[in-house]
Structure 1
Amino acid sequence: MASKLAKSVFKYLKERPEEKLTARQIAERILASSPEEYEAKKQSSKYISTNAELLQQLGAEISSQRLRMLKQYPELKTIEGRPRKYYYTNKSDSAEIAAAEETGIAPPIDAVATKITEHALYPLLSLYLSEEFGVHSKRIDEKCSSNKRGPNGNRWLYPDVVGMEDLGAEWLPAVRDCVKHYSDKRTKLWSFEVKLLINRSNVRECFFQAVSNSSWANFGYLVAAEIEGQDTLKELQMLCAAHGIGLIKLDTNNQADSQVLIPAREKAEIDWNAANRLAMENKNFLEYLKLVKQLYQTDEAKLASCWDMPKMTG
């Protein structure tokens, strides 16, 4: 039996399909639309004396009833990450993926009301990597690949974005010279597979695409703007633990609030045979390796903003 609050949450979200809101945002709107319904709750509790305290309590109750609500109302779904968001949809999991790939995903409620496409995620990811990890990134466009291997010959071969971490940015010149002559440990190379939405219908496909596309790199990451459902996140946690791929939740409203939900497990060595294949068949990847070479030759790493990241589009 659904509680009164759960019914109110369902009714509110059903009237606003696809609108994604946090528990606190839902509580604010329910309280604003029907203050008299919850006044008795405030009056009967010795711990709640103000509307602010009532709002906090309602938000906490929505969160605590989440699993029960999702079971009671299959049309209710959640976006995982910080903060978790709730929404109503009639679409199946596969239909949600198709809609996201065709038209993009809805922006946060307090952002400009323009659909967010996968292309728009690349510069956000680039800024996040640069500011959080000091990783210089470059977009790899699969359209720049040759098609020597026939239809689907390059499928699951190229990551969306690659990165280079300059470990010696603050080293003394003498140390950099030693590394240059006696080892190849000046850089760490990163690979990123980017998705608008991951849910139960595409979670394994997205994950193993990231595995395949990052086989050459020190670090491989799957990046998503939205991860729908707790079961999806649990599946990703299991897969990441088994295969060493990391998971990044990209915040489309503010890239600084993005999160590494699961750190990638480092591979000690680059698979240069795999890297060579990518470079032979994709000019973007060849340019990427040339920029890595440039770092070793000149001690200068190109800034992320100069690495051909596309401009944001709606």
Structure 2
Amino acid sequence: MTVEAAPELRAPKPLRMAWIIAAWGACFLGIQWGLAYAPILWFAALRALVAGGVLLAVAGVQHRPRPRGRRAWLLISALAAVNVTLAFAAMFASVAGSSTGTAAVLANAQPLLIVLPAWWWYGERISPRTVAALAAGFVGLVVVAVPGGGGQGAVLALLSAVAVTAGTLLGRRLGGLDVVAASGWHFVLGGAGLAVWAALTEGAPNISWTPGFVAVLGAMSVGGTAAAFVAWFTESRHCRLDTLTAWTFLVPVVGIVLAALVLGERPNRWTVLGLSVVLAALWLALRPRGIRPSPSGSADDRA
């Protein structure tokens, strides 16, 4: 296997993570509301393209370096395919096929999926407590996905989680690339893929461009996508991936609370029980050892 240690590892910055989690949780509410005005794939494509356009504009104004070289563009293209085209399509379709709360829970299974790949690619060792958190989290997801809270939407949400996990793993490999420019291009390429997919399956875009829809699309694209993902990719370069992604267990809390307050969605008992188990897994995952090298300063400890 290829083990690539991160240049430095630290705990995720709490304020930055809280902002990312709040932005992503609100996006599930925005998706649920906006689907009344735009088809699934066209809506997803617009979110990605607007986010990418904003980031490339910022990169241009700030004279940030463009990605160069075949390896850089292959990485950005792969990241676009999994983190945008596949993840956004599955995420938007999952919200359309299930409740906002259920979609938010299952689409954020990333902490449970990233542990083994993080060990395989980056040498991040797995503690027994992390294994216990992994098992507990999967139990919670199964409970959420039982009849009444699952169905096709649950499967699509889990597919989105797998795709986002692959995106986080690839995101750390952005390495020396400028994070704003690389993120912008990956959203543009991924959004273009979604637009082609939408044209083939949904036909011409039938979108109601109301002021409310434009406002929601703008907020999701700029705050919940462009800014949030740049912050996320920045953190992924400097933090253990299992500790970093454990924060995303809080996204469903935001999604479910907002859905209850704004949309009047009352989570059923399975969602409440499953979410409680998932939050227990979060506590278990964040409680292990601190991120600091051992006295020997070995590469494994730093990873």
**TM beyond 0.5:** no
Q: Which structure is higher in helix share?
A: 2
Question: Looking at CA atoms only, which structure, 1 or 2, has the larger radius of gyration?
Answer: 1
Q: TM-score normalised to the size of structure 2?
A: 0.23
Q: TM-score normalised to the size of structure 1?
A: 0.23
Q: Which structure is higher in strand share?
A: 1
Higher relative contact order structure (alpha carbons within 8 Å, sequence separation ≥ 6): 2
